[in-house]
Amino acid sequence: QLQLQESGPGLVKPSETLSLTCTVSGDSISSSTYYWGWIRQPPGKGLEWIGSINYSGTTYYCPSLKSRVTVSVDTSKNQFSLKLSSVTAADTAVYYCARPMIRGIFARGGFNYWGQGILVTVSS
């Protein structure tokens, strides 16, 4: 059974860098061709796609966040990570990692496996 688990600090100071890791179990990032994704949801608001990465490190980012976002993969640990720099209160959200329905083609099939989400609050 595929499981994804987000981890990282729940509190980040303004102007600092938010760093999260998604640990995957039940599937191997290196042997599959999925575009693993990060999605966030501010409290009481809608979903926003942040970025996606595949096993070889090919990345795609939300245009409005691209200047501040880095998504990376560590196949030896079966993890992928998110870094968001220069955070403000507007970056306070539940951050989810997810795996799409269809392998190989970015954004084709939606995300059918999600982590439980981690609330990250930006505050001094």
Partner 1 sequence: QSALTQPPSASGSPGQSVTISCTGTSSDVGAYDYVSWYQQHPGKAPKLMIYEVSKRPSGVPDRFSGSKSGNAASLTVSGLQAEDEADYYCSSYAGSNNLVFGGGTKLTVL
| Cα 5–chain centre separation | 11
Q: Is 33 helix (H, G, I), strand (E, B) or coil?
A: coil
- Total residues at the site for partner 1 (CB under 8 A)? 24
Under the binding rule (CB under 8 A), the answer on residue 112 touching partner 1 is yes
Tell me which of 63, 67, 76, 90 binds partner 1, using CB under 8 A.
Answer: 63
Under the binding rule (CB under 8 A), the answer on residue 109 touching partner 1 is yes
Identify which range of 10-18, 23-31, 78-86, 95-103 contacts partner 1 by CB under 8 A.
95-103
Under the binding rule (CB under 8 A), the answer on residue 80 touching partner 1 is no
Buried/exposed 91-119: b ≥16 CB within 10 Å, e otherwise: bbbbbbbbbbeeeeeeeeeebebebebbe
CA distance 46 to 23: 24
Under the binding rule (CB under 8 A), the answer on residue 49 touching partner 1 is yes
Q: For the purposes of burial, counting CB atoms within 10 Å of the CB of 120, is it exposed (0-12), middle (13-18) or buried (19 or more)? A: buried
Tell me which of 79, 96, 120, 122 binds partner 1, using CB under 8 A.
Answer: 96
Closest CB to partner 1 among residues 37, 93? 37
Which residues of the shown chain bind partner 1 in the complex (CB under 8 A)? 37, 39, 46-49, 52, 60, 62-63, 96, 101-102, 106-112, 114-117
